[in-house]
Amino acid sequence: MEILLWIVIVALFVASIAGIFLPVLPDTILLWAGFLLYHFVLAEPGAGLPASFWWGMVVLSVLLYGADLLTNMYFVKRYGGSKWSSIAAAVGIFLGIFLFPPFGMLILPFLFVVLVELFVSNQPFERAIKAGVGSLVGFLGSAVVKVVLQIVMIIWFFIAAL
């Protein structure tokens, strides 16, 4: 039974990393499911994960949620987008997750940024496209950040658990 539970925990961790690229999978929730499964089912009573682990996971989980929005807004700005474009990128990510998974996270921010640059900021088409490309670079950048954060969380789990 113990081996089966470890397989489930590892499968949850793998699914959480896949969730970075497939937004229909709740990546952070899958990580936490693995942590909780170990702590409440697999660990010996009274010998679960320490409080420092749980506090660290809370902080890293908040960073995971913020990674998409913050990196997207940063790169839109860096590629010449306006403040409104940065906000449009964040709204596009949020709506894209729910309206058109999994590609909505790429398409809607790009479209929203281009449209805002064209019609709100009155920028030339080339500059609007460049800012839109910034939203794509931001998504890829956030994916890298999220992979690194999740690997750190998983390694920390195994260090604390074993």
Q: Please give the tally of structural domains in the chain.
A: 1
User: According to the model, what pLDDT value does residue 19 have?
Assistant: 87
| Residue 80 confidence class, pLDDT cut points 50, 70, 90 | confident
Express as a percent the part of the chain with pLDDT over 70. Answer: 99
Q: Find the mean pLDDT for residues 72-97.
A: 83
| Residue 106 confidence class, pLDDT cut points 50, 70, 90 | confident
Q: Concatenated DSSP letters for the chain? A: -HHHHHHHHHHHHHHHHHHHH-TTS-HHHHHHHHHHHIIIIISPTT-S--HHHHHHHHHHHHHHHHHHHHHHHHHHHHTT--HHHHHHHHHHHHHHHHHSTTTHHHHHHHHHHHHHHHHTS---HHHHHHHHHHHHHHHHHHHHHHHHHHHHHHHHHHHHH-
Convert the pLDDT of each residue in 109-156 to its tens digit: 899 999 999 998 889 999 999 988 988 888 888 888 899 999 999 999
> 1: burial class by Cβ within 10 Å (0-12, 13-18, 19+)?
exposed
> 126: burial class by Cβ within 10 Å (0-12, 13-18, 19+)?
exposed
Domain range enclosing 72: 2-161
User: According to the model, what pLDDT value does residue 13 have?
Assistant: 97
User: According to the model, what pLDDT value does residue 118 have?
Assistant: 93
Q: Find the mean pLDDT for residues 81-103.
A: 83
Please give the residue that has the higher pLDDT: either 148 or 162. 148
Q: Is the pLDDT of residue 40 over 80?
A: yes
